């Protein structure tokens, strides 16, 4: 195989082969995944570049790993040995913002937050907001079907993708989906590609649904609880009450303590968990009052309702600091189980139990309104640089418990490389076989992101 041949067809300014420069394209944020060494990194500028690259990769049987900003937490963007890495970060054009049809057409490398900024002048927003929304690309969001904080009300990435332009493994460029709200002509290839972690094709642009921005600033409700169970009970009551919060986050004591040690937020000794909720509809005040009542009835020892934007921003900052605060304490394995919302108390208790039994430090935050729980396993690497066995044992217990509760291994991060060995537990062998058949239909040579996802 000759990388020079590819350089000739797409232009050498778009191709990196210097190992030192390529090094920064080998990993995403899944630090526990072991990356291989790419043969080349392509900084794609057009769908045609990617088409050329995939024709070349097909001809030479070269594995292809596509990446956006590299913010993935499951390792979907991890380089494999001898691969071509395709980076979409130069494909940053917002091709269309259409207020009449409430949609946008954007290239894969556009930063998530830039879409809402472009839509803002029309009173519209792009709803899905993964924590990485200021740095992650829409292409990466699509690859993982990213969630976020406000998806409890506005839905995940898949719910906002109307159509895609995608390059197939053999280089053909195909469009899926539509610009209409509804449409049932053919199979839903769009939904199939969203969340497929680069294993079925390379997304080059997307037609996205925009939504009217909330009619008013959100009202924020914060509650602190002296037990994790009472916080989880409050969440269950809010869900059951059909209140429709625009955000409903839970932060556990270990996380709060780490943030407090770092930023001095004035944590009380008896706080076991905090809930932060918002409502942004025209009935936000009524919704906030209802949530306050549910928090109190579930046993909160402190509840406050705020209309103040600065105060709300401070509270959300505590939530956003959760992950960096964990990282200060050691190596982190960020997990992402999801359970039916009524099972949230059970899931949180099981995480606590796994931590205690295996003497592993676990710090937990949750998109509680969705039943999506992020236990972060914090540890020091062993002398030989590996992950302590107890961490994997505890993680294994957490995964199995999520499945027992009718849940999933991953709510929004994807399978990547880190969760592959558990996947068949969730899907079963017949479904795995269907997955392999679908993969073969799109990518008969198996060159697209091998060893990732399903």
Site residues for its own copies, 37-66, by CB under 8 A, read: none
Q: Going residue by residue from 360 to 379, which x/- string records binding to its own copies, judged by CB under 8 A?
A: -------x--xxx-------
Instruction: Find the shortest distance in angstroms from Cβ 440 to its own copies.
Output: 7
Q: Which is nearer to its own copies, 224 or 408 (CB)?
A: 408
Q: Looking up tokens 């792009």, which residue turns up? A: 126
Q: In what order do the strands lie in the sheet with 94-98?
A: 94-98, 103-107, 202-209, 161-167, 173-177
Q: Which is nearer to its own copies, 90 or 178 (CB)?
A: 178
Distance CA 100, CA 225 (A): 46
Instruction: Find the shortest distance in angstroms from Cβ 155 to its own copies.
Output: 8
Q: Phi/psi at 46 (nearest 5 deg)?
A: -145, 165
End-to-end CA distance of the chain: 28
Q: How many CB atoms lie within 10 A of CB 287?
A: 24
Q: Which is nearer to its own copies, 56 or 454 (CB)?
A: 454
Q: Looking up tokens 């494909």, which residue turns up? A: 91
Of all helices (H) and strands (E), which one includes residue 245? none
Q: Going residue by residue from 242 to 271, which x/- string records binding to its own copies, judged by CB under 8 A?
A: x-x---------------------------
Task: Tell which one of 23, 101, 296, 301 touches its own copies (CB under 8 A).
Answer: 101
**What residues numbered 262-321 form the site for its own copies, per CB under 8 A?**
281-283, 286
**What residues numbered 408-447 form the site for its own copies, per CB under 8 A?**
408-415, 419, 423, 426-428, 430-431, 434-435, 437-438, 440-442
Burial 345-367 (b: 16+ CB within 10 A, else e): bbbbebbbebbeebebbbbbbbb
Q: Going residue by residue from 150 to 189, which x/- string records binding to its own copies, judged by CB under 8 A?
A: -xx---x-xx--------x---xxxxx-xxxxxxxxxxxx
Q: Which is nearer to its own copies, 330 or 444 (CB)?
A: 444
Number of residues that bind its own copies (CB under 8 A): 87
User: Is 16 an interacting residue with respect to its own copies (CB under 8 A)?
Assistant: no
Instruction: Find the shortest distance in angstroms from Cβ 404 to its own copies.
Output: 12
**What residues numbered 380-399 form the site for its own copies, per CB under 8 A?**
none
**What residues numbered 199-228 form the site for its own copies, per CB under 8 A?**
200, 212-213, 215
User: Is 121 an interacting residue with respect to its own copies (CB under 8 A)?
Assistant: no
Taking a C-beta distance cutoff of 8 angstroms, is the pair 161, 200 a contact?
no
Task: Tell which one of 109, 198, 338, 345 touches its own copies (CB under 8 A).
Answer: 338
Distances (CA, A) of 403 to 105, 162, 390, 407: 37, 31, 20, 5
Distance CA 175, CA 283 (A): 40
User: Is 77 an interacting residue with respect to its own copies (CB under 8 A)?
Assistant: no
Task: Tell which one of 41, 339, 418, 448 touches its own copies (CB under 8 A).
Answer: 339
Closest by CA to 122, choosing from 102, 138, 92, 106, is 102
Alpha helices in 358-419 (DSSP H): 389-404
Distance CA 398, CA 254 (A): 17
User: Is 19 an interacting residue with respect to its own copies (CB under 8 A)?
Assistant: no
Distance CA 230, CA 61 (A): 55
Instruction: Tell me the two tokens of residue 257.
Output: 């303590």
Q: Which is nearer to its own copies, 199 or 271 (CB)?
A: 199
Q: Which is nearer to its own copies, 297 or 431 (CB)?
A: 431
Q: How many CB atoms lie within 10 A of CB 440?
A: 11
Q: Which is nearer to its own copies, 100 or 384 (CB)?
A: 100
Q: Looking up tokens 């402190």, which residue turns up? A: 302
User: Is 95 an interacting residue with respect to its own copies (CB under 8 A)?
Assistant: no
Closest by CA to 450, choosing from 63, 163, 160, is 63
Of all helices (H) and strands (E), which one includes residue 32? none
Instruction: Find the shortest distance in angstroms from Cβ 314 to its own copies.
Output: 27
User: Is 11 an interacting residue with respect to its own copies (CB under 8 A)?
Assistant: no
């Amino acid at each position: 195989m000759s990388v020079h041949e590819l350089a000739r067809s797409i232009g050498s300014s778009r191709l990196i082969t210097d190992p030192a420069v390529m090094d920064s394209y080998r990993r995403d944020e899944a630090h526990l995944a072991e990356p291989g060494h790419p043969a080349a990194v392509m900084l794609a500028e057009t769908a045609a570049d990617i088409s050329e690259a995939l024709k070349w990769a097909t001809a030479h049987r070269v594995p292809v790993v596509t990446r956006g900003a590299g913010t993935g937490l499951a390792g979907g963007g991890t380089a494999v040995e001898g691969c071509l890495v395709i980076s979409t970060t130069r494909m940053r054009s917002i091709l269309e913002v259409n207020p009449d049809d409430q949609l946008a057409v954007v290239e894969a490398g556009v930063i998530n937050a830039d879409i809402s900024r472009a839509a803002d002048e029309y009173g519209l927003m792009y709803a899905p907001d993964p924590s990485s929304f200021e740095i992650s690309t829409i292409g990466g969001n699509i690859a993982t079907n990213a969630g976020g904080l406000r998806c409890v009300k506005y839905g995940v990435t898949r719910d906002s993708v109307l159509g895609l332009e995608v390059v197939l493994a053999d280089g053909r460029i195909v469009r899926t989906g539509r610009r209409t709200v509804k449409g049932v002509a053919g199979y839903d290839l769009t939904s199939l590609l969203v969340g497929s972690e680069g294993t079925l094709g390379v997304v080059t642009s997307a037609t996205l649904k925009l939504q009217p921005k909330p009619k008013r600033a959100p009202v924020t409700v914060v509650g602190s609880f002296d037990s994790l169970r009472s916080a989880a009970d409050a969440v269950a009551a809010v869900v059951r009450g059909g209140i429709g919060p625009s955000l409903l986050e839970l932060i556990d004591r270990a996380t709060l303590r780490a943030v407090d040690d770092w930023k001095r937020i004035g944590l009380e000794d008896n706080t076991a968990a905090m809930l932060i909720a918002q409502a942004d509809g025209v009935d936000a005040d009524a919704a906030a009052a209802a949530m306050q009542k549910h928090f109190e009835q579930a046993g909160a020892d402190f509840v406050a309702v705020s209309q103040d934007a600065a105060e709300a921003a401070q509270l959300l900052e505590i939530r956003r600091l959760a992950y960096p605060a964990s990282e200060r304490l050691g190596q982190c394995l960020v997990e992402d189980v999801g359970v039916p919302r009524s099972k949230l108390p059970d899931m949180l208790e099981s995480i606590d139990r796994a931590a205690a039994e295996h003497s592993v430090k676990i710090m937990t935050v949750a998109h509680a309104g969705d039943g999506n729980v992020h236990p972060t396993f914090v540890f020091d690497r062993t002398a030989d640089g590996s992950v302590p066995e107890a961490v994997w044992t505890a993680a294994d217990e957490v995964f199995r418990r999520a499945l027992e509760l009718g849940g999933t291994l991953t709510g929004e991060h994807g399978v990547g490389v880190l969760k592959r060995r558990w996947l068949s537990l969730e899907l079963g062998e017949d479904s795995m076989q269907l997955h392999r058949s679908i993969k073969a239909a799109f990518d008969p040579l198996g060159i697209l992101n091998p060893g990732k996802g399903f």
